[in-house]
Amino acid sequence: MRITVVLVMLSVLAAGCEPAADRAAGPDGTTPAASAPAASEPAPAPSESPSASPSPSASKSAPPAPPPGPAALRVGSRGPEVLALQRRLVELGFWLGQPDGTYGSSTAHAVTAYQKMAGLGRDGVAGARTQQALKTARRPAARSTGGDLVEVDLARQVLIVVNGGRLAWVLDASTGSRPGLTPTGRYKVFRHVDGYDHGPLGTLYRPKYFNRGVAVHGYPNVPPQPASHGCVRVTNPAMDWLWSSGTLTIGRGVWVY
């Protein structure tokens, strides 16, 4: 019995680890080796479909750009925008002569005078900020409450024509380059020269003297800041208008503050 068991075990060991039924012999009597499983091909990467829905962030369009502001108007500009600007300045009382749609020196000085009164940058260019401010601006008020005179505002560097206690016109001006050069107080025009007057402080165009040698006069250069030797400078065209309009006749009051 033990011999039979041993013989059976030896026959199993000779057959190998796999059952005989799973190791079919080939024609030559040999048993083929177990074939290795075929290597699987990697799954193809998912393709991006043209019709795929975009992500929520991709579907959002960029916000529209803000509309451009109004173009800056300056010396040399022409057209209906300039004419509208000039008419608005005249409506508010800023002298520039006759509106004609051409942005010349007188218009630039009127813009500067407005900028001075409104507390804006004094460059004489009607940029977006100045144009926007003009839309809601109100006619400024004079300090005087009665009478016909001119006021010289040293802080804002303007000359204000007052008729019957109300502001009529504002002119761009430049006064003494140092505090005290242009005297403050109430005066009257006592002398004038209809032409060029050559004096120790320079040549004055059509001056109107109100305190010794201090006068309101025309000058080719009227910067936005104090720059004179003590007189009140306005442009030559503005001085011509002060003469032709009878604004600064002998005896007219001049209030400097």
CATH assignment at residue 115: 1.10.101.10
Considering the domain architecture, whether residues 252 and 154 belong to the same structural domain is answered as: yes
Considering the domain architecture, whether residues 177 and 249 belong to the same structural domain is answered as: yes
What is the total count of domains within the chain?
Answer: 2
Considering the domain architecture, whether residues 128 and 226 belong to the same structural domain is answered as: no
The per-residue pLDDT for 201 is 72
Residues of the chain under the 70 pLDDT cut: 1-60, 62-63, 65-68
Side-chain-side CA neighbours of residue 183 (13 Å) = 12
Distances (CA, A) of 117 to 66, 112, 138: 30, 9, 11
The per-residue pLDDT for 65 is 65
The per-residue pLDDT for 223 is 98
Q: Residue 216 and residue 249: Cα distance in Å, rounded?
A: 12
Are 93 and 116 a contacting pair, CB within 8 Å?
no
| H/E segment holding residue 168 | strand 166-172
The per-residue pLDDT for 162 is 98
Are 23 and 16 a contacting pair, CB within 8 Å?
yes
Considering the domain architecture, whether residues 170 and 106 belong to the same structural domain is answered as: no
Answer with the one of 105, 136, 167 that is the final residue of a domain.
Answer: 136
The per-residue pLDDT for 67 is 64
Residue 20 lies in a domain: no
The per-residue pLDDT for 199 is 78
Host domain of residue 198: 149-256
Residue 42 lies in a domain: no
Write down the residue that tokens 């306005």 correspond to: 234
Considering the domain architecture, whether residues 237 and 154 belong to the same structural domain is answered as: yes
Considering the domain architecture, whether residues 154 and 238 belong to the same structural domain is answered as: yes
Residue 28 lies in a domain: no
Residue 204 lies in a domain: yes
Answer with the one of 136, 157, 172 that is the final residue of a domain.
Answer: 136
Residue 34 lies in a domain: no
Considering the domain architecture, whether residues 165 and 251 belong to the same structural domain is answered as: yes
